[in-house]
Amino acid sequence: MKALKRSKSLTERTVETLRNAIINEDFMLGEPLSETLLAESLGISKSPVREALAQLKAEGLVTIIPQKGTFVFTLTPKEQKELSQMRFVLETAALDLAYEINRDKLIKALKDNLTAMQSQLAKDDLDKYLVFDGSFHIVLFDLCDNSYLRDAYNQVSGKHSALRLRSARRPKHIEKTYADHEAFVVCIEKDDLAGAKEILKAHFSRFDDYFRENIDKFAVSNASSTRKARSQQNRRLKL
Protein backbone atom coordinates (compact mmCIF):
# COMPACT_ATOMS: atom_id res chain seq x y z
CA MET A 1 0.00 0.00 0.00
CA LYS A 2 1.92 2.97 -1.21
CA ALA A 3 0.91 6.56 -0.76
CA LEU A 4 -0.22 8.22 -3.94
CA LYS A 5 2.02 11.09 -4.83
CA ARG A 6 0.11 14.27 -4.39
CA SER A 7 -0.03 16.14 -7.65
CA LYS A 8 2.28 19.10 -7.62
CA SER A 9 0.80 22.43 -6.75
CA LEU A 10 0.52 25.18 -9.30
CA THR A 11 3.10 27.14 -7.40
CA GLU A 12 5.61 24.31 -7.54
CA ARG A 13 5.07 23.77 -11.21
CA THR A 14 5.40 27.47 -11.85
CA VAL A 15 8.67 27.59 -9.94
CA GLU A 16 10.04 24.78 -12.04
CA THR A 17 8.87 26.31 -15.27
CA LEU A 18 10.37 29.68 -14.49
CA ARG A 19 13.56 28.25 -13.10
CA ASN A 20 14.09 26.23 -16.23
CA ALA A 21 13.25 29.23 -18.36
CA ILE A 22 15.87 31.30 -16.60
CA ILE A 23 18.48 28.58 -16.73
CA ASN A 24 17.82 27.77 -20.36
CA GLU A 25 18.24 31.26 -21.69
CA ASP A 26 14.55 31.84 -22.33
CA PHE A 27 15.03 35.09 -20.53
CA MET A 28 17.92 37.47 -20.59
CA LEU A 29 19.74 38.35 -17.43
CA GLY A 30 18.18 41.40 -15.86
CA GLU A 31 15.04 41.08 -17.94
CA PRO A 32 11.88 42.31 -16.24
CA LEU A 33 9.18 39.80 -15.38
CA SER A 34 5.60 40.76 -14.65
CA GLU A 35 3.35 38.83 -12.30
CA THR A 36 0.32 39.68 -14.35
CA LEU A 37 1.79 38.85 -17.72
CA LEU A 38 3.27 35.62 -16.51
CA ALA A 39 -0.05 34.64 -14.97
CA GLU A 40 -1.86 35.28 -18.24
CA SER A 41 0.81 33.56 -20.22
CA LEU A 42 0.59 30.48 -18.02
CA GLY A 43 -3.18 30.59 -17.81
CA ILE A 44 -3.30 30.80 -14.04
CA SER A 45 -3.93 33.52 -11.50
CA LYS A 46 -1.41 35.86 -10.00
CA SER A 47 -1.24 34.10 -6.63
CA PRO A 48 0.82 31.06 -7.59
CA VAL A 49 2.97 33.19 -9.87
CA ARG A 50 3.66 35.58 -7.07
CA GLU A 51 4.54 32.77 -4.71
CA ALA A 52 6.76 31.19 -7.29
CA LEU A 53 8.62 34.45 -7.81
CA ALA A 54 9.08 34.80 -4.07
CA GLN A 55 10.62 31.36 -4.00
CA LEU A 56 12.90 32.12 -6.91
CA LYS A 57 13.93 35.24 -5.09
CA ALA A 58 15.06 33.04 -2.22
CA GLU A 59 17.11 31.07 -4.73
CA GLY A 60 18.63 34.29 -5.98
CA LEU A 61 17.31 33.78 -9.49
CA VAL A 62 15.17 36.90 -9.50
CA THR A 63 15.34 40.25 -7.81
CA ILE A 64 12.16 41.88 -6.60
CA ILE A 65 12.08 45.62 -6.19
CA PRO A 66 8.96 46.73 -4.33
CA GLN A 67 6.38 48.47 -6.44
CA LYS A 68 8.86 48.58 -9.28
CA GLY A 69 9.26 45.19 -10.75
CA THR A 70 10.73 41.73 -10.73
CA PHE A 71 13.83 41.04 -12.73
CA VAL A 72 15.92 38.06 -13.70
CA PHE A 73 19.12 38.17 -11.67
CA THR A 74 22.43 39.46 -12.90
CA LEU A 75 25.82 39.27 -11.30
CA THR A 76 28.41 41.93 -10.79
CA PRO A 77 32.00 40.74 -11.14
CA LYS A 78 32.31 40.77 -7.38
CA GLU A 79 29.23 38.65 -6.86
CA GLN A 80 30.49 36.34 -9.53
CA LYS A 81 33.68 35.85 -7.59
CA GLU A 82 31.83 35.35 -4.35
CA LEU A 83 29.65 32.74 -5.99
CA SER A 84 32.56 30.69 -7.15
CA GLN A 85 34.20 31.07 -3.77
CA MET A 86 31.07 29.74 -2.17
CA ARG A 87 30.90 26.80 -4.49
CA PHE A 88 34.45 25.97 -3.60
CA VAL A 89 33.66 26.06 0.09
CA LEU A 90 30.63 23.83 -0.27
CA GLU A 91 32.11 21.30 -2.65
CA THR A 92 35.26 21.03 -0.62
CA ALA A 93 33.28 20.36 2.53
CA ALA A 94 31.05 17.87 0.75
CA LEU A 95 34.08 16.12 -0.66
CA ASP A 96 35.61 15.73 2.79
CA LEU A 97 32.44 14.32 4.24
CA ALA A 98 31.62 12.02 1.35
CA TYR A 99 35.18 10.73 1.28
CA GLU A 100 35.11 10.07 4.98
CA ILE A 101 31.77 8.32 4.94
CA ASN A 102 32.21 6.18 1.89
CA ARG A 103 35.30 6.60 -0.20
CA ASP A 104 34.70 3.69 -2.54
CA LYS A 105 31.12 4.50 -3.34
CA LEU A 106 32.16 8.04 -4.08
CA ILE A 107 34.87 7.02 -6.50
CA LYS A 108 32.58 4.65 -8.30
CA ALA A 109 29.82 7.22 -8.65
CA LEU A 110 32.23 9.82 -9.95
CA LYS A 111 33.74 7.41 -12.44
CA ASP A 112 30.34 6.37 -13.71
CA ASN A 113 29.43 9.98 -14.20
CA LEU A 114 32.71 10.61 -15.94
CA THR A 115 32.12 7.93 -18.53
CA ALA A 116 28.65 9.31 -19.13
CA MET A 117 30.16 12.71 -19.76
CA GLN A 118 32.70 11.24 -22.09
CA SER A 119 30.12 9.44 -24.17
CA GLN A 120 28.10 12.61 -24.60
CA LEU A 121 31.26 14.40 -25.57
CA ALA A 122 31.92 11.78 -28.22
CA LYS A 123 28.43 12.31 -29.56
CA ASP A 124 28.96 16.05 -29.54
CA ASP A 125 25.78 16.45 -27.54
CA LEU A 126 26.75 19.51 -25.59
CA ASP A 127 23.49 19.97 -23.73
CA LYS A 128 23.49 16.46 -22.38
CA TYR A 129 27.13 16.77 -21.56
CA LEU A 130 26.35 19.76 -19.41
CA VAL A 131 23.63 17.85 -17.62
CA PHE A 132 26.15 15.24 -16.59
CA ASP A 133 28.63 17.95 -15.73
CA GLY A 134 26.03 19.19 -13.30
CA SER A 135 25.29 15.79 -11.84
CA PHE A 136 28.99 15.17 -11.38
CA HIS A 137 29.12 17.87 -8.77
CA ILE A 138 25.86 16.78 -7.23
CA VAL A 139 27.34 13.36 -6.56
CA LEU A 140 29.41 14.90 -3.80
CA PHE A 141 26.35 16.29 -2.09
CA ASP A 142 24.35 13.12 -2.48
CA LEU A 143 27.02 11.13 -0.73
CA CYS A 144 27.97 13.56 2.00
CA ASP A 145 24.77 12.78 3.87
CA ASN A 146 24.05 16.29 5.03
CA SER A 147 20.82 17.90 3.91
CA TYR A 148 21.89 21.38 4.89
CA LEU A 149 24.97 21.21 2.77
CA ARG A 150 22.91 19.89 -0.08
CA ASP A 151 20.31 22.62 0.26
CA ALA A 152 22.96 25.29 0.33
CA TYR A 153 24.38 23.90 -2.86
CA ASN A 154 21.04 23.79 -4.57
CA GLN A 155 20.62 27.38 -3.62
CA VAL A 156 23.71 28.52 -5.49
CA SER A 157 23.63 25.95 -8.24
CA GLY A 158 20.67 27.61 -9.89
CA LYS A 159 22.65 30.73 -10.57
CA HIS A 160 25.64 28.75 -11.61
CA SER A 161 23.64 26.63 -14.01
CA ALA A 162 22.20 29.72 -15.58
CA LEU A 163 25.64 31.16 -16.12
CA ARG A 164 27.18 27.94 -17.30
CA LEU A 165 24.74 27.31 -20.07
CA ARG A 166 25.25 30.82 -21.33
CA SER A 167 28.98 30.66 -21.42
CA ALA A 168 30.04 27.08 -21.82
CA ARG A 169 29.36 26.67 -25.51
CA ARG A 170 32.97 26.64 -26.53
CA PRO A 171 34.82 23.46 -27.47
CA LYS A 172 38.11 24.47 -25.92
CA HIS A 173 36.52 25.31 -22.64
CA ILE A 174 34.68 22.02 -22.59
CA GLU A 175 37.83 20.06 -23.17
CA LYS A 176 39.53 21.70 -20.26
CA THR A 177 36.67 21.20 -17.88
CA TYR A 178 36.43 17.57 -18.81
CA ALA A 179 40.12 17.16 -18.07
CA ASP A 180 39.51 18.83 -14.73
CA HIS A 181 36.90 16.32 -13.80
CA GLU A 182 39.09 13.44 -14.81
CA ALA A 183 42.08 14.70 -12.85
CA PHE A 184 39.81 15.31 -9.89
CA VAL A 185 38.80 11.67 -9.72
CA VAL A 186 42.36 10.49 -10.12
CA CYS A 187 43.42 12.58 -7.16
CA ILE A 188 40.70 11.14 -4.98
CA GLU A 189 41.68 7.63 -5.96
CA LYS A 190 45.20 8.43 -4.84
CA ASP A 191 43.70 9.74 -1.59
CA ASP A 192 45.13 13.11 -2.46
CA LEU A 193 42.29 15.31 -1.28
CA ALA A 194 44.44 18.41 -1.21
CA GLY A 195 45.23 17.90 -4.85
CA ALA A 196 41.59 17.39 -5.67
CA LYS A 197 40.74 20.65 -3.98
CA GLU A 198 43.40 22.48 -5.95
CA ILE A 199 41.81 21.22 -9.12
CA LEU A 200 38.42 22.36 -7.94
CA LYS A 201 39.75 25.82 -7.26
CA ALA A 202 41.32 26.11 -10.67
CA HIS A 203 38.20 24.68 -12.23
CA PHE A 204 36.05 27.40 -10.75
CA SER A 205 38.37 30.27 -11.41
CA ARG A 206 38.79 29.26 -15.04
CA PHE A 207 35.06 29.52 -15.44
CA ASP A 208 34.98 32.83 -13.65
CA ASP A 209 37.52 34.48 -15.82
CA TYR A 210 35.74 33.69 -18.99
CA PHE A 211 32.35 34.65 -17.77
CA ARG A 212 33.39 37.93 -16.27
CA GLU A 213 34.44 39.15 -19.67
CA ASN A 214 31.30 38.10 -21.43
CA ILE A 215 28.44 38.72 -19.06
CA ASP A 216 27.34 41.75 -21.04
CA LYS A 217 26.35 39.59 -23.93
CA PHE A 218 23.84 37.72 -21.82
CA ALA A 219 22.39 40.61 -19.89
CA VAL A 220 19.86 43.13 -21.05
CA SER A 221 21.45 46.55 -21.08
CA ASN A 222 20.60 48.86 -18.22
CA ALA A 223 18.92 51.35 -20.49
CA SER A 224 16.45 48.91 -21.92
CA SER A 225 15.67 47.08 -18.73
CA THR A 226 12.55 49.14 -18.47
CA ARG A 227 9.00 48.63 -19.48
CA LYS A 228 9.17 48.79 -23.21
CA ALA A 229 11.27 45.67 -23.33
CA ARG A 230 8.53 43.87 -21.52
CA SER A 231 6.20 43.55 -24.45
CA GLN A 232 8.25 40.86 -26.08
CA GLN A 233 7.92 38.87 -22.91
CA ASN A 234 5.07 36.94 -24.40
CA ARG A 235 7.20 33.92 -24.97
CA ARG A 236 5.03 30.89 -24.62
CA LEU A 237 5.69 29.18 -21.35
CA LYS A 238 4.11 25.88 -20.51
CA LEU A 239 3.58 24.54 -17.04
Partner DNA sequence: AAAATAAAACTGACATGTCAGATGTCAGGA
Partner DNA sequence: TCCTGACATCTGACATGTCAGTTTTATTTT
Q: Give the separation between CA 127 and CA 130, rounded to whole angstroms.
A: 5
221 contact choice in a second copy, DNA, none (CB below 5 to 8 Å, kind-dependent): none
Q: Give the separation between CA 80 and CA 86, rounded to whole angstroms.
A: 10
Q: What residues numbered 184-203 form the site for DNA, per CB under 7 A?
A: none
Residue 174 within binding range of DNA, rule CB under 7 A? no
Query: Binding mask 3-22 vs a second copy (x if CB under 8 A, - otherwise)?
Result: ---x--x-------------
Query: Binding mask 61-90 vs a second copy (x if CB under 8 A, - otherwise)?
Result: -----x------------x--xx-xx--xx
Residue 44 within binding range of DNA, rule CB under 7 A? yes
Q: Give the separation between CA 93 and CA 98, rounded to whole angstroms.
A: 9
Going through the chain in order, the beta strands assigned E by DSSP cover 32-33, 62-65, 69-72
Q: What residues numbered 85-104 form the site for DNA, per CB under 7 A?
A: none
Q: How far is CA 211 from CA 28, 131, 133, 205, 219, in A?
A: 15, 19, 17, 10, 12
Query: Binding mask 3-22 vs DNA (x if CB under 7 A, - otherwise)?
Result: ---x--xxx-----------
Strands 32-33 and 62-65: unpaired
Name the residue nearer to a second copy (CB basis): 179 or 202.
202
Selection from 55, 37, 56 nearest residue 46 by Cα: 37
Note the residues at the interface with DNA (CB under 7 A). 6, 9-11, 32-37, 44-48, 50-51, 64-70, 226-228, 230
